[in-house]
Structure 1
Amino acid sequence: MTKRIFICIALIGMLAKNSFAQERLINRANEKYKEYSFNPAIDIYKRVLDKGYVSADLLEKLGNSYYYNANYKKAAETYKKLIEGFATDSTVGPEYYFRYGQSLKSLGNYDEANAMIVRFTELTSNDERAADFKGERDYMAEIEKNSGRYEISEFEHNSVYSDFAPTFYKEGLIFSSDRDTGNLAKYRHTWNGKDFLDLYEVNVDSLSMGRVVKVRGDINTRFHESTSALTKDGDTLYFTRNNTISGKVIKDDKGITRLKIFLTTKVNGQWTEPRELSFNSDTYSVANPTLSPDEKTLYFASDMPGTLGESDIFKVTINEDGTYGTPENLGNNINTEARETFPFVTSKDILYFSSDGHPGLGGLDVFAVKIAHGDYSGNVLNVGEPVNSNMDDFTFIFNEDTRRGYFASNREGGMGMDDIYSFLETRPLEFDCNQPITGTVRDKITNQPLAGATVKVIDENNEEVASTITDSNGNYEIAVDCNKGNFVRATMEGYVPAEEYLAKSENKPRIIDFYLERDIVTAGYGDDLAKLLQLSTIYFDFDKYNIRPDAEIEIQKVIAAMDKYPSLRIQANSHTDSRGADSYNLWLSQKRADATVEYMISKGIAPDRLVGKGFGETKLVNGCSNGVKCTAAEHQLNRRSEFIILE
């Protein structure tokens, strides 16, 4: 009996010892995982699994370690074990279904991948990515539409190591590589077990100068130097580096060495000691710089506070004195709850970036969006195959003039872990281009706004594609498809239509004001030009017939119409109200009609085109005749001027 008790105690002790040893191993692996040292974390997690210990947390971390190292086959295997073993316990969050689906895409298993994405959307209520996968968009059809636009070939200077992050430099490139295997093993990066990266340069257009050399100057260290961006003059270089001081890495309170953007300038052909940018931090990473076409804005990737996912794309203003503004997130149209990184902006303000949050073919895909005029709400388009594959495709750069560019990928068939590819774009990417048009429709003669005028967009096939009505102030808003030529046309009853042609353009807002002319060409004998031109009442001072300044303004509109239509002949009629003697009113109205004609002749209208006639109170428009009590306003209706068309 005593012996049995001893054996049981010994077995319990061994189990406790084994359990303690496994717990210690897991704690070590978790520490490495927290430090983003995924390669050693994988080794330890696998040792624990081989001993038969398994948990949801272990499988999550092991799957993520494979995922972030782009080992999608192992990631898929691990996520499958996680979901099959623990999904019923409701311990598996929606993010793991998403990553499992992305990993399956990378293996070409799209049917099963879509099933996992569907499950992801079912478990998600407020994730921006979910809408893209709920059948609201046929994203595979979009990718197919955008595919086949590139001719790609391998970069002749690839190595058996990792080569990526090309940047245009003079007639060649600066790129990042870990090809220098002279580094001691202790300087290898524990994220993926590779050597640390340095920046290299090569002249790609000259066989005699096609040798790859390390960038000279105070740039490369024994730690990471990576993604870079150059000013147009080639004398200022932004690049990514590990957070180091005096050759020693700096870790945050979680034990993580963050990334920072540094700047260096060229003096006497050599890069000077780099300095870090002011918005860098020891507590988050700032990396992958690129410049706007005017070099006044720096775009970059970061996981700083305000990030929506694991990394987002931000922008920051470069002030004239060399200081920087406050970084701004580009928003949830571009950024998702996953990874957005490696931005590049072309000369035509198209932002290319890599993401595994937008619908793609698997891993990181390259996407494009127009960001002209500070608008980040445009359609985000997957650039399609063959640039994108079922693996990671990233660090895309493009010259709008030559239609040539470069990108990197870890796809199968390459020489190294990551390889650079060159490409020629044979067909441009088609963006939705909604150009906002605003303006006012006015009467050309009176300059008065025309409420209720119709503004239409007519395409080049003479088909109406949009229409709106001006408001009470004559204002309108409408949009045109700026991928095509369009006519913007304003019409209103009684006016000659006016239009303006807009050729293909970028979506920069336009203001188009229309000044419509009264359609007096179709007017006939006896029509009142004053009504057609919407003239204000022409007043005369009491008992006088000289032309007042306010009357001049209205008569000038008639003169403008007669200048435009040389065959137009009119009769200037003058009327009075019934107050005063009939004979006096007739005399006064004739004097006023004559004064009007004389004024118009003095402004260049031929006398034979004008007739002046006074009618006194003989043509009242209401019942306010002699002896009838009327208001001042009612009498005023009879004191009017008319410009009757004779021919």
Structure 2
Amino acid sequence: MNSLQGISVSLPQDSSKPAMMKKKYVTIFAFSLLIGSVGYGQSQKARKADKAYDQLAYQNAIESYETLVKKGYSDEEIYKNLGDANYLNANYAEAANWYGKLFIKDNEPASADHMYRYAQSLKSSGEYEASNIWMERFEDAIDTDLRAKNYNENQDYLEKIERMSGRYTIENIPINSPESDFAPSLKDQELIFSTARDTGKTFRNIHEWTNRSFLNLYKATFNNGTFSNAERLPKSMNKKTHESTTAFTKDGKTVYFTRNNSEKGKFARDNEGVSRLKIYRATIEGDEWKDITELPFNGDEFSTAHPTLNPDETKLYFASDREGTYGASDIYVVDVNEDGSFGTPKNLGNSINTESRETFPFAAKNDILYFASDGHPGLGGLDIFAVQIRGDEISEIINLGKPLNGEQDDFSFYYSEESGSGFFASNRDGGVGSDDIYSFQEHEPITFECTSLINGIVLDKEKNLPLANAKVLIVDKTEKIVTESITDRDGRFSANVDCNAKQLKVVASKEDYDSSEKSWVATQNSDEIVNLKLTKSLKAAPVGTNLITYLNLQPIYFDLDKDVIRTDAMQTLEKVIAYLNTFPNTRIEVQSHTDVRASESYNLNLSARRAKNTVAYLIANGVEENRLESKGYGESQLVNNCETSSSCTDKRHEENRRSEFIVIK
């Protein structure tokens, strides 16, 4: 992307400085030069190199610094500036060479960002193992960086890219020139693109960043299966500024495009002498663009560039380095209202944007956004990525793979869903010029693994306590298991499901518990917690079991010298009845007891009456008589040490005035 190194961040803007280069980078460069100048003297050639670099005239700076190196200078700042100048001019092999010398000479480089640039430059030479080593060092140096996070989470990125590869066939189209050609878009049967093929006669038409011409808009017509007859658009579109990246409305009556900030067709500069990029809108009448106006969210102190409309033309995506940007340039979106006015631009966030360059967005159907980036794991330089954006929900980011992406810069993607074909630009080897436009045909559409994270907790319903090691199944409407998991010691679980899935069920189960389920409608990135409460399951109790203990019931107590069933016993009796209804083959013996406060014979008779009254209650509530037996035990089976009438309180004596339900079959 030689003459476009500025445009990946923005378009270069005038004969001295490029656009969309953030102020902090300009400051850092100047500061580096100030320090470096002490190291290699104050020769005229050194001052000339520094001045060219300080003014971002990188091609001139490269030539001057290389002359110094040939004369024996080996200052760290020279290597750093040579690396940066070549990197920003997309000369990645040369950048890797000079960064390599810098890191050999300086074991503690001044900037972790140079590690990242070195890693990127190595990729562009196909040295992926070496690049990964430097990415790991970069991650160690600045692990909070979004690029470090992306690398850490995608260390198998080369395998992922390989799996995505082979979906396109590409072809260099005939209209390319020896200069830079890029930013293709279609208007009816015409291909509109930006090119630096006009050399011009005066120095002001040469951009010092790359020593190449400024950019103009051209069109090519479709004939005999290809595009040909490239010709410059009229003067109303092309001024003495850079023009690039067009986006046309479906009716062909309106165009959005990128141009330098200008006054009367000439560069308008900010306080730093930089002519920033802006997006303009024009109406189209025949071959003329009229009523050219800049959009209201442009600014004189930052750049706004590379517009693209979503299919229903309600949103405009663009790249910018305005305040709030994460890196060299970020992608933003703004609502386009029915009356042609605009909402407030919104940064797409750090799931998409990084500390590097995210630029050249293209909005397609199905909420898919394509963009170029050198901040996400790729093959080298700028790669083209795709992401699906639905409201605030953002899918995984997919690298489009080979051959569309390669080791150099690949960018300015344009796609037609109807034909499955489109265009992109690249400065890969084998092209005609510094950047060429390639056509492509898609053979296999990309698909997104749209996932929704289900978080939940499984509890014991009665105790409201978490249940560890509970099994959780996610099933679809056909009862097919989608995924399964096990709760941790806190009863928690999580599972990923297809966010497009409908009528899902979450089913929890655990030994000795009845299963529980809840319906679920998957939505991507859901924060909802699914609570499932399990009831202790009923299994047939073994012979000899007391159902009071087995079912964890409150005991049935009697008042002193009474055999009447108390109202507080009825809840327990209802649960015993429910158990007997669940297990119709179970027979029980009601065993009743007394305390010691009467004679043994009296108490034996009293306990027998209590047992019979308990059985009578069960029969009256639907339990068959032949399943019940009763027996009184008097004071012979005390549950505590209340062996005399005076040894305990009445509350303690009450514990012995009880009925029990013993399974006998």
Task: Specify the TM-score bucket, using the shorter chain as the normaliser.
Answer: 0.5 to 0.7
2:398 aligned to 381, 384, 388, which one? 381
Query: How far 1:203 sits from its partner (Å)?
Result: 3.7
Unaligned runs of 5+ in 2: 1-40, 459-465, 538-665
CA contact (8 A) 1:372 1:508 kept: no
Once the two structures are superposed, the pairs formed by residues 389-468 of structure 1 within 5 Å of their partners are 389-416=406-433, 417-426=435-444, 428-431=446-449, 433-435=450-452, 462=481, 464-466=483-485
Query: How far 1:410 sits from its partner (Å)?
Result: 0.6
Q: Amino acid of the residue matched to residue 462 of structure 1?
A: I
Query: How far 1:294 sits from its partner (Å)?
Result: 3.8
CA contact (8 A) 2:282 2:291 kept: yes
1:222 partner SS: coil
How many angstroms apart in 2 are the aligned matches of 1:406 and 1:353? 13
Query: How far 1:409 sits from its partner (Å)?
Result: 0.8
Q: Give deviations 1:421-472, integer Å, cap 9, x for gaps.
A: 32314252443x213569999xxxxxxxxx99x9997578636425789x9x
Residue of structure 1 in register with 2:62 after alignment: 42
How many angstroms apart in 1 are the aligned matches of 2:139 and 2:346? 34
How many angstroms apart in 2 are the aligned matches of 1:278 and 1:484? 37
2:352 partner SS: coil
Q: Amino acid of the residue matched to residue 96 of structure 2?
A: A
Query: How far 1:371 sits from its partner (Å)?
Result: 1.8
1:29 aligned to 52, 55, 58, which one? 52
Residue of structure 2 in register with 1:549 after alignment: none
Residue of structure 1 in register with 2:88 after alignment: 68
How many angstroms apart in 2 are the aligned matches of 1:115 and 1:263? 43
CA contact (8 A) 2:234 2:287 kept: no
Query: How far 1:140 sits from its partner (Å)?
Result: 3.8
2:387 aligned to 363, 369, 373, which one? 369
Once the two structures are superposed, the pairs formed by residues 219-298 of structure 1 within 5 Å of their partners are 219-267=237-285, 270-298=288-316
Unaligned runs of 5+ in 1: 1-17, 442-450, 520-647
CA contact (8 A) 2:453 2:524 kept: no
How many angstroms apart in 2 are the aligned matches of 1:309 and 1:208? 38
Residue of structure 2 in register with 1:177 after alignment: 194
295-304 vs 24-33, which deviates more? 24-33
2:141 aligned to 124, 134, 140, which one? 124
* Aligned CA distance change for structure 1 residues 78 and 496 (closer, same or farther; 3 Å): closer
Residue of structure 1 in register with 2:35 after alignment: none
Once the two structures are superposed, the pairs formed by residues 188-587 of structure 1 within 5 Å of their partners are 188-192=206-210, 193-203=212-222, 207=225, 211-215=229-233, 218-267=236-285, 270-321=288-339, 322-331=341-350, 333-376=351-394, 378-416=395-433, 417-426=435-444, 428-431=446-449, 433-435=450-452, 462=481, 464-466=483-485, 480-482=496-498
CA contact (8 A) 2:175 2:228 kept: no
2:62 partner SS: helix
Q: Amino acid of the residue matched to residue 250 of structure 1?
A: A
1:212 partner SS: strand
How many angstroms apart in 1 are the aligned matches of 2:113 and 2:330? 17
How many angstroms apart in 1 are the aligned matches of 2:313 and 2:509? 44
1:73 partner SS: helix
CA contact (8 A) 1:343 1:352 kept: yes
* Aligned CA distance change for structure 1 residues 379 and 21 (closer, same or farther; 3 Å): same
Query: How far 1:46 sits from its partner (Å)?
Result: 3.5
Q: Amino acid of the residue matched to residue 481 of structure 1?
A: V
Q: Amino acid of the residue matched to residue 90 of structure 2?
A: A
Q: CA RMSD in A?
A: 6.4
How many angstroms apart in 2 are the aligned matches of 1:149 and 1:361? 15
Aligned residue pairs: how many?
600
CA contact (8 A) 1:159 1:179 kept: no
How many angstroms apart in 1 are the aligned matches of 2:158 and 2:65? 40
* Aligned CA distance change for structure 1 residues 468 and 165 (closer, same or farther; 3 Å): farther
Relative contact order (alpha carbons < 8 A, sep ≥ 6): 1 or 2 greater?
Answer: 2
* Aligned CA distance change for structure 1 residues 292 and 177 (closer, same or farther; 3 Å): closer
Query: How far 1:95 sits from its partner (Å)?
Result: 1.6
CA contact (8 A) 1:162 1:178 kept: yes
CA contact (8 A) 1:307 1:329 kept: no
Query: How far 1:153 sits from its partner (Å)?
Result: 2.3
1:166 partner SS: strand
Q: Give deviations 1:454-510, integer Å, cap 9, x for gaps.
A: 9997578636425789x9xxxx99765328866655889999999899999988999
Percent identity, aligned pairs only, is: 34
* Aligned CA distance change for structure 1 residues 54 and 26 (closer, same or farther; 3 Å): farther
CA contact (8 A) 1:226 1:239 kept: yes
How many angstroms apart in 1 are the aligned matches of 2:207 and 2:310? 32
1:341 partner SS: strand
Q: Give deviations 1:346-405, integer Å, cap 9, x for gaps.
A: 2112222111122221111112222222224x3323222111111111112333444333
Query: How far 1:189 sits from its partner (Å)?
Result: 2.2
Residue of structure 1 in register with 2:645 after alignment: none
Q: Amino acid of the residue matched to residue 217 of structure 2?
A: D
CA contact (8 A) 1:361 1:388 kept: yes
State the TM-score, normalized to the length of structure 1: 0.65
1:289 partner SS: strand
CA contact (8 A) 2:172 2:431 kept: no
* Aligned CA distance change for structure 1 residues 503 and 52 (closer, same or farther; 3 Å): same
1:371 partner SS: strand
CA contact (8 A) 2:387 2:398 kept: yes
CA contact (8 A) 1:63 1:78 kept: yes
181-190 vs 498-507, which deviates more? 498-507
* Aligned CA distance change for structure 1 residues 75 and 272 (closer, same or farther; 3 Å): same
Query: How far 1:56 sits from its partner (Å)?
Result: 2.8
* Aligned CA distance change for structure 1 residues 162 and 411 (closer, same or farther; 3 Å): same
State the TM-score, normalized to the length of structure 2: 0.64
CA contact (8 A) 2:86 2:94 kept: yes
How many angstroms apart in 2 are the aligned matches of 1:435 and 1:235? 41
CA contact (8 A) 1:356 1:363 kept: yes
* Aligned CA distance change for structure 1 residues 257 and 58 (closer, same or farther; 3 Å): farther
